[in-house]
Amino acid sequence: MKIAIIGSGNIGTALAADLAQHHIVNVYSSRPQLFEKKITYIDMESGKKVNAQLNKVSNQYEEVIEDADLIFLAVPTFLIRKTSLEILKYLHRKTMIGFVPGAGGVEFLAKELIDNGHIIFGFLRVPYVARLNEYGKSVYASKKESFKIAAIPRTCTHQISQKMSDLLNRPCFDIDNFLSMTLTPTLHTSRLYDLYQAVDAQTMLWEDPYFYADWTNSSSKVCLELDDELHLVAKCLEEKYGLDMHDLVSYRIHYESPTIEALTVKLRSIKSLSQIKGPLKKENDYFLLDMDSRYFTESYPYRLSIVKGIADLLSLSVPKTDEVLNWYSKISNKDYYIDGKFIGKDVEECAIPQNFGISHIAEFLKLYQ
């Protein structure tokens, strides 16, 4: 199979090094001169090294995607729209395009690809734990045991899941509705708000708490309030408009934690999360919020904002979501969100459906049929 991979960070490089062992792989990189023809996949668990031959590495989209049977986009969310519009110029036949991962409003950011008849799909989570060893040369990676896939059109989901299962040699499971992936929440939004609602980006901070190991009941309270509003939106879509949202699971069920206190105990106890710190940067003997961290730049404009945008289409009230988004607008110095409405001068940076010509619920529903 001829595969094009757009993105050469941790995940893009892991994909390339893995798939090039059995397929023809081209890679897009802004620094192609740093790549070697052979790239090394180093298994994180066993230390085993496997060299794979890349077909081509280029900073020209046309060279990378020509004749590709399959394209993967492994780029930060804020680059998805720009990248989608760029590659669209060179897609001369209907192509499958996979987003790694697929959350963050991909169906809006890549709407032109959908409108031009291309099949898009996304992974609920990235398929590897990966860390570059040497850019363009080697990557440490561990492939996950299974994946979940959603696609637009949704009738293609099962076919693509089977194809990805064969390609990645792991079981892949269908997500019935792409929207369930888009609305899958992140713990970042509630935790950051709880920790830093009383400060601004210039406030000197004297502690750098563990993000999960020091989790508090107040963070759990915000988390469950936001989750309840998310599921209010999902329930309306399911009961009033017939969308299947069963793949969107509440935090109470996912973490087996029906109460605030139970959720706190659960999150504090997850060993794989225990050493993770939050988005702070060291300045002399104090810390500042790192507003360039993806904890901020993706969690709010590309995740929580979408919940609010859909709630607006449904005329639903989501007061806690409003409160948290208002805080983020102020702390990030962005005019996204003013007095409960997306009317600020920077609102085009948000992946809300209204920014992509979707102003009525009927137009919104067409994406998921």
Whether residue 228 is found in the same domain as residue 330 = yes
Whether residue 189 is found in the same domain as residue 312 = yes
**Last-in-domain residue among 181, 196, 211:** 181
Supply the pLDDT for residue 37: 87
DSSP track, 161-217: HHHHHHHHTS-EEE-S-HHHHHT---THHHHHHHHHTT--TT--B----BTTTT--H
Supply the pLDDT for residue 92: 80
Whether residue 6 is found in the same domain as residue 20 = yes
Whether residue 86 is found in the same domain as residue 225 = no
Angle at 79 between CA 281 and CA 98, to 5 degrees: 120
Whether residue 51 is found in the same domain as residue 190 = no
- Indicate the pairing of strand 24-28 with strand 2-6: parallel
CATH number at residue 87: 3.40.50.720
Neighbours of 68 (CB within 10 A): 23
Supply the pLDDT for residue 336: 85
Distance CA 164, CA 170 (A): 8
Number of separate domains in the chain: 2
**Last-in-domain residue among 164, 181, 198:** 181
**Last-in-domain residue among 157, 181, 205:** 181
Is 266:257 a contact under the CB 8 Å cutoff? Answer: yes
Supply the pLDDT for residue 94: 86
Strand order in the sheet with 38-43: 49-53, 38-43, 138-143, 128-134
Whether residue 264 is found in the same domain as residue 132 = no
Whether residue 226 is found in the same domain as residue 299 = yes
Is 7:128 a contact under the CB 8 Å cutoff? Answer: no
Whether residue 163 is found in the same domain as residue 191 = no
Whether residue 72 is found in the same domain as residue 139 = yes
Task: Note down the domain range covering 21.
Answer: 2-181
Best CA proximity match to 222, nearest among 308, 315, 323 = 323
In this prediction, the residues of the chain whose per-residue pLDDT falls under 50 are none
CATH number at residue 313: 1.10.1040.10
Whether residue 208 is found in the same domain as residue 151 = no
Supply the pLDDT for residue 38: 94
Give exposure, 302-332, as e/b (b: 16+ Cβ within 10 Å). bbbbbbbbbbbbbebebebbbebbebbbebb
Whether residue 165 is found in the same domain as residue 257 = no
Whether residue 253 is found in the same domain as residue 175 = no
